[in-house]
Structure formats: structure tokens, C-alpha cells
Amino acid sequence: MGSPTEKLAHKVDNIADFDPPSQPTAGLQYDLNAATFRKSMPIATGVLDYFPDALAEVARVSKVGNDQHNPGEPLHWAKEKSTDEADALVRHLLDRGKRDSDGMRHTAKVAWRALALLQREIDAEKVGK
């Protein structure tokens, strides 16, 4: 019971009683292996089941982008090749409802960039930047 995560995880006996803070304490990281926290994030029923077609489009954007920027390499996010998620997101948002020159929906690229921006924020918080 040393880490803040362990302390929080042990305070909650019933997942129905778990209410993650809207503004986590700086440096607090949820332990995704702790059952209480894991069960509080319904990834399948709370995201995948809500947006199956939209997420498939975002996955296609990942594949097309990887083939363009990392030809011949396995699918991966080359984070160093593009770091302007907010600006790129807005550029694609301006063309929402249309398709880009590669045939992908601009709105799917907005979603991809939003996820990338969020992931970078979470990664930075994890390392305390």
C-alpha cells in the first residue's frame, strides 16, 4: 500500500462506488492492472461499442499514414515525424465532411490527431513534464 494508486485502489470495495477524480492529483497514475481501476474504464462497451465504424476509419488512417511515412515498416506511430497535433487537427477540421487527397476522411484524421494529442498529454503527465 505504498503508492497513491494502491491506496486509492484499496479504499474502494465496490466498483459502483468508484468515482475517479476529474482533476487527478499531479503525478497520480492509475494502475491499469488494479481491478478497480481497470473496471472503471469500459473500453469495449464505453468506446468500441459506441463508435465501431468511426474507430475503424481511424485505424485506416493509421495504416495509410504508416504506409506513407514509414513504407515497408510494420505499423507503428513514428512520434518524432509529426508533433503538431493541435494545428493538424484544426487544419483537418476545416475540411470536415470531405476526403483528403489520399482518400481518407478529414474527420477521421481529426479523430486520429485528437487521440495523438491526448496520448502525448498523458505520456507527458506520466513522466512529470
pTM: 0.72
Question: What pLDDT is stored for residue 8 in this prediction?
Answer: 40
Three-state DSSP class for 99? strand
Domain spans of the chain, in order of start:
4-41, 47-126
Rounded to an integer, what distance in angstroms lies between the CA atom of residue 107 and that of residue 111? Answer: 6
User: Over 70: is that where the pLDDT of 14 sits?
Assistant: no
End-to-end CA distance of the chain: 25
Mean pLDDT computed over every residue of the chain: 82
Q: Give tens-digit pLDDT for 69-87.
A: 999 999 999 999 989 999 9
Count Cβ neighbours within 10 Å for each residue of 48-68 and write b for 16 or more, e otherwise: eeeeeeeeebbeebbebbbee
Q: Give tens-digit pLDDT for 85-102.
A: 999 999 999 999 999 999
From residue 82, give the alpha-carbon distance in Å to each of 20, 64, 78, 86, 87: 32, 15, 8, 11, 11
